[in-house]
Chains A and B, each alone.
Chain A
Amino acid sequence: MTVAAWGQLALFSALVLLTTKPLGLYMARVFEGEHRPLPRVLGPVERFLFRLSGVDPSVEQTWVGYTASVLAFSLFSMGVTYAILRLQHVLPLNPQRFGPVDPALAFNTSASFTTNTNWQSYGGESTMSYLSQMAGLAWHNFVSAAAGLGIAIALARGLTRRQAPDAPRTLGNFWADLIRATVYVLLPLSLLFALVLVSQGVIQNLSAYREVTTLEGAKQLVALGPVASQEAIKELGTNGGGFFNANSAHPFENPSPFTNLVELWLIFAIPAGLTYTYGRMARDSRQGWAILAAMAVLFLGGTGVAQRAESRPNQALASLALDHQAGNMEGKEVRFGTAASALFATVTTDASCGAVNSAHDSFNPLGGLVPLVNIQLGEVIFGGVGAGLYGMLIFVVLSVFIAGLMVGRTPEYLGKKIESPEMKLAMLYVLIFPLIILGFTAWASVTRWGTSSLSNAGPHGLSEMLYAFTSATGNNGSAFGGLNANTTSWNTVLALAMLGGRFLMIIPALAIAGSMVGKKVVPAGPGTFPTNGPLFTFLLVSVVLIVGALTFFPALSLGPIVEHFAGAAGKVY
């Protein structure tokens, strides 16, 4: 790694660390505080939305009620987005007069944005009207992230609440969490950082596209639109769906290294802050720091491998008499270079964001392996907004159980016993993820609808398919590239992978919360395994890596790993 790469990594890590505690405290006040922040500014908005929607925030829901609300809201909002996309040609704010979105693409896109995945089988500037971008897609960027935040807080309540045995086993109110997450966390930060991005050159308008004459005298149509308002929440909500097809590689979305740093911070800000919020809810901030430390170790490991891989030239070009000091620049923006591109790829796949500033398909095999592995570890390395915390908490439960097995004691976490039902639910959570990814990849790799969309043969082609299903199921949304996913078959199957990867994992997570919330708390004794220190962090990292490696290593060995060795032997795909 170069000095510049180390500097970027250090600056980025320092920014995330510096804001973890204040943002975590702020979110703890929003979700669990007696008095919410900024009562004069945001209080009236919150109360207005409660009155408008008929929500009584003091009425709490059981896990089944909470889940029913999540599912009902998601189905309804997915339907609204589908309708907007299909009817955009008769709706306003369509200066380019785009026609209706194809049904399979509309299904894929509405599932994608509802599940916080933001997989895009389309180019935004050539497919979507401004209304579709704002009301159909950017709106989901807020509410899908807010739903994820609510679910993480509900699981945290289940694990940390101490209540009488006869008290109702409730986890909060989904509708109140949804509104508060949007009003107090996502909207103010998005507004603030949209203005920061505008100040740096990100565009924000509703104008028709403009035809300009280039320096060479050619005519070029420059796509415009309300980009900044979608850009901030794109990263803050770990959504990742770009206004333009080139996503954060486009100069109107990400004009400079400074905006690149801002966008990187926005991706990690809430997931990192949530670990502190969790520590506050557990009445022991070290519980949160231990989880943050595990995430940081995994993040730094992945970054190191990606930076090293991309600092080397593409294997097909290495033998040519070229200046290779810039590293593997294929598919990368010159204004970012390999260091900022590798860092962005690592961060965006750690955090289930999916925004990209370079083409992951063009990374060297081991560089491309890192984003793939990051997602396959379950999107728990900071992870998506809310999704990262609830995913990591499932691994915490699993780690505590394994530690209990090792010492022969009934495992307990925060004084609550982990028993058979919780472990069954945790295993459901852990197993559904690879089942969808590997099952669909296997299906696609032996059928014509799957292989006919590939641009590359051999292990690279397998990586393209594996990445697509990994990204969809992990609700990441980034594309490896090299795969034409805009076909009826791919759009439909990927939509099902996205829906399964979101809701079939949320349900066992909320069920664990419902199971744990009413459990009796026993005081810590000499045999209690501490979950707030470095030993637990080590165990947690090991469990995440072992589960991920055991599950996905065979598939990875047929994809990027064999491609790396083939490349070293002079064969590229």
Chain B
Amino acid sequence: MLDIVFILASVAFFAVAWAYALGCDRLMEGRQP
């Protein structure tokens, strides 16, 4: 049971990190060439 919790927690963390990366990419939309 705990195995599933920790595997899901790992996947959730990396999903959050990916969303955060996409958020950072949005921050750069107004950049100058």
Contacts and interface: CB of A to CB of B under 8 A. Distances in A.
Contact of A420 (B3, B7, B20, B30): B30
Given A424-B27, A504-B17, A511-B27, A103 B32 contact: no
Interface in B1-33: 2-3, 5-7, 9-11, 13-14, 17-18, 20-22, 24-25, 27-28, 30-33
Interface string A5-33: 00000000000000000000000000000
B2 A104 contact: yes
A61 to B, nearest CB: 13
Interface stretch (A75-83, A121-129, A289-297): A75-83
A79 B24 CA distance: 26
Interface stretch (A66-74, A203-211, A279-287, A314-322): A66-74
Interface stretch (A331-339, A371-379, A512-520, A534-542): A512-520
A233 interface: no
A515 B32 CA distance: 9
Nearest to A499: B13
B7 to A, nearest CB: 7
Contacts of B25: 63-64, 511, 514
A520 B33 CA distance: 6
Contacts of B31: 419, 421, 515
Nearest to A111: B10
Given A74-B14, A514-B28, A103 B21 contact: no
A103 B3 contact: yes
Nearest to A506: B17
B9 to A, nearest CB: 7
A97 interface: no
Contacts of B22: 64
| Residue in B2, B10, B14, B24 with the greatest tally of chain A CB atoms within 10 Å | B24
Given A71-B18, A103-B2, A78 B10 contact: yes
A67 B3 contact: no
A363 interface: no
A56 B6 CA distance: 34
Interface string A486-527: 000000100010010001100110010011001110000000
B20 A507 contact: yes
16 contacts: A63-B25, A71-B14, A75-B10, A75-B14, A103-B3, A103-B6, A106-B6, A107-B10, A492-B9, A499-B17, A503-B17, A507-B17, A507-B24, A511-B27, A511-B28, A514-B25
**Nearest 6 CB-CB pairings of A with B:** A103-B2, A107-B6, A511-B24, A75-B14, A421-B28, A503-B17
